Structure 1
Amino acid sequence: MRIVVSDYAATPTSGGTYSILEDFYNDVLQNDLGNEWIFILAGRYFPTSDNVKIVIREDLKKSKFKKLLFELGTGRRFINRYRPDVFISLQNISTVGVKSKIKITYLHQSIPFYREHRFSFFKSQERKVAMYQRLVGKVIKYSLSKEQPVTIVQTEWMKKAVVQQTRLSPARVLKVSPKVPFIDDGKYYANQRHAFFFPATAYVYKNHRLILDAIQELKRQGYDDFTVSLTLTPQQLPDAHNNVELLGFIPRQQVLKMYEDHVLIFPSYIESYGLPMLEAAQKADLILAADIPITHEVLAGYSNVYYFDYRDPAALAELMRKVLVGDLQSDLQPIKLTYQNESVLQTVQQVIKKKSGE
């Protein structure tokens, strides 16, 4: 069976999207020797084998217009040259017109399905998000409605949103929690009272501004003996003040280390899953999280999370104050991962098996 995978949008600097590709590719390379795999990527990022090949389309990564044209028009001819039995898109859009019996799309971009706030092209900090929400989102929804692929999402919230906003039936949308690295090193939260941490990129919906406003509220109340560490640079957050430590990008092992003696703040109001919350919860970390459906879904049953209105800096400041004075402490009980999460490859193999038997 010949399987063609499209993910030219992912590069080593693209964060979580590249992690999804890297994990999937390595899984295929090591654990599927019986099928022929062709990956359409922006670069030769991985080794190949007798049955796993890479086709490079760096040009599609460089031009948004060319990418759009590929997904809605020229891509069908390029991909159909390989006569795929299965076509998989790991980049949210199901390329229109691909001739394959089985089509699968991994949908990890939640911005187009977020309706509580309409981002503006006229605000510089919102422009890129507005493009995803209002332009790329239309292409995603159109492609899913037209091509009717089996679509993999990460949360129940996302499944409901996809069913409501596309013509996909619930049977075609699979909710599969991403494979969460299991952390079992015996090191748990040390009930640190004066150090907070939020590992996130600089997108406006990550809500760093709320943290800065909460810090100002705490300082007005006379609290100043604390730090908040962020994985941003001075260029990304030029108005950060003395209580903010800007770390820039740090490797995952350092992120995991930070959870041991920092309280996690998670003010983001748009998420596909929110992996940092589960990483921290496995160390019994105290978590202050935005009160949105995904945080409740991901942290269901966890005893050390406290929720706040992501639009209200005073609400976050009050929880931070309670941490500072010792009113909020971890009970040192890590989250219990009760579900059996599977790899993307395992999900794909199950879909192929089921569809091949139809």
Structure 2
Amino acid sequence: MRKTIVISAVNLVEAGTLTILKDCLAYLSTLASDPAYRIVAIVYDKELAKFPNIEYIETRWPKKRWINRLWYEYISLKSVSKQIGSIDLWFSLHDTTPTVIAKRRAVYCHNTYAFYKRKMHDWLFSPKIAAISAFTKYIYRTNIHQNTFLVVQQVWFRNAMSAMFGFDKKSIIVAPPEHESKMPIINVEQTSDQLYRFIYAASPNSHKNFEVLCAAAEILEKRGVKNFKIQITVKGDENAYAKWLYKHWGSLKTMNFGGFVSRNELFKIYAASNCLLFPSKVESWGLPISEFALFEKPMLLADLPYTHETAAGSNNVAFFNPENANDLATQMERLIMGDTAFLTAVEREPIEDPVAHSWSELFKTLLHG
């Protein structure tokens, strides 16, 4: 009997979440070449993730404002599900569990903000993100127990979701994202200076915690340590947070407010850098860690559950308190002075079932697990 799978993803239009939508539909497009499967994708714009063998329902109204999104998820989609007909699996790719009629339901949980400890600083510089972090747990909670499965990227997130919502861990699938396993071929321009180079690639949002590395740079300069450079992918004029960073630390000679760069350019910077800094306070994964790990160079990472999982398998890692600039400055100074004795390997821990290492494995569990 023909199986119908519905993917709802009206909110996925850019960056990593759009990549997840594309990868998901690319797999389902192949699956749907078998007439035993019917795939329906509810998206903002099908041109963003267009594949053969898939029926698209396009709608842009829910993306205009949050109230529209909530109305669409919890009111409108029930009618849509009736119009589609008998549905074997409804898979929401963006955190919310819509009110629909389906034999099985699942939701992909990207948003870790429910576990982010907000500060007044966040309300001042990133009020939208602060608001999202305040309300995310209520969005997750709505209809959550109507799901057969939840899907997350890391074990700590599985444990946190289970504890917060009382959802059985055995029904939370850990699906680590697939990343490049080989370092790309890069032509790097050699520099004549003797500077130790750090890189931190992130968007200018307050939870990315740029201030701790800026403060660490200031501490080192005051100690007389100046033979290093920190490049960040913030220019200093993007938003209120970026302007605040530049106002306070833009004059430091060891800071390079380089601004956004393309992925190809970023890999060139990785290749020319000695060490990755990653102080972000909350992530669902932390992609630059996986990218930089390919270079087998030192990484100084915020001592948080997500970094330990993302860095698993890497050999030259140290963790620092993301609230303590002195802690970071001390580790940076040791590297600048050539001391790597404190760096350690991060062991890979086995992941308990259910786990999926590919879209094929994931849908096998969603449909038959």
TM-score, with structure 1 as normaliser: 0.87
Q: Is the 8 A contact 1:287 1:304 kept in 2?
A: yes
Q: Is the 8 A contact 1:7 1:89 kept in 2?
A: yes
Correspondent of 2:90 among 87, 91, 94: 87
Number of the residue aligned with 2:236: 234
Measure how far apart 1:46 and its partner are.
2.9
Q: 1: CA distance between counterparts of 2:304 and 2:220? A: 24
2:296 is aligned with 1:281:
no
Q: Is the 8 A contact 1:323 1:329 kept in 2?
A: no
Measure how far apart 1:341 and its partner are.
6.4
Tell which deviates more after alignment, 230-239 or 279-288.
Answer: 230-239
Tell me the secondary structure at the aligned position of residue 124 of structure 1: helix
Correspondent of 2:209 among 190, 194, 207: 207
5+ residue gaps in structure 1? none
Measure how far apart 1:122 and its partner are.
8.2
- Structure 1 residues 249 and 122 mapped into 2: Cα distance closer, same or farther (>3 Å)? closer
Tell me the secondary structure at the aligned position of residue 124 of structure 2: coil
Measure how far apart 1:337 and its partner are.
11
Identity %: 22
Once the two structures are superposed, residues 201-246 of structure 1 have per-residue CA deviations (whole angstroms, 9 ceiling, x without a partner) of 1221111111111111111111223221112232132313343323
- Structure 1 residues 329 and 186 mapped into 2: Cα distance closer, same or farther (>3 Å)? farther
Number of the residue aligned with 2:150: 151
- Which aligned runs of 4 or more in structure 1 are off by greater than 6 angstroms? 329-341
Tell me the secondary structure at the aligned position of residue 9 of structure 1: coil
Q: Is the 8 A contact 2:96 2:107 kept in 1?
A: yes
Equivalent AA in structure 1 for residue 181 of structure 2: F
Q: Is the 8 A contact 1:141 1:165 kept in 2?
A: no
Measure how far apart 1:138 and its partner are.
0.7
5+ residue gaps in structure 2? none
Q: 2: CA distance between counterparts of 1:105 and 1:345? A: 16
Q: Is the 8 A contact 1:178 1:341 kept in 2?
A: no
Q: Is the 8 A contact 2:308 2:346 kept in 1?
A: no
Number of the residue aligned with 2:255: 244
Show the 5 A alignment for 1:1-358.
Answer: 1-11=3-13, 14-34=14-34, 35-44=37-46, 45-49=48-52, 51-83=53-85, 84-96=87-99, 98-114=100-116, 117-120=117-120, 123-145=123-145, 147-184=146-183, 194-236=196-238, 237-238=242-243, 239=246, 240-241=250-251, 242-262=253-273, 263-328=275-340, 342-354=357-369
Measure how far apart 1:336 and its partner are.
8.1
Number of residue-to-residue matches in the alignment: 345
Equivalent AA in structure 2 for residue 348 of structure 1: F
Tell which deviates more after alignment, 265-274 or 298-307.
Answer: 298-307
- Structure 1 residues 19 and 122 mapped into 2: Cα distance closer, same or farther (>3 Å)? closer
| CA RMSD, 1 decimal | 2.9
Tell me the secondary structure at the aligned position of residue 104 of structure 1: strand
Q: Is the 8 A contact 1:206 1:270 kept in 2?
A: yes
Tell me the secondary structure at the aligned position of residue 81 of structure 1: helix
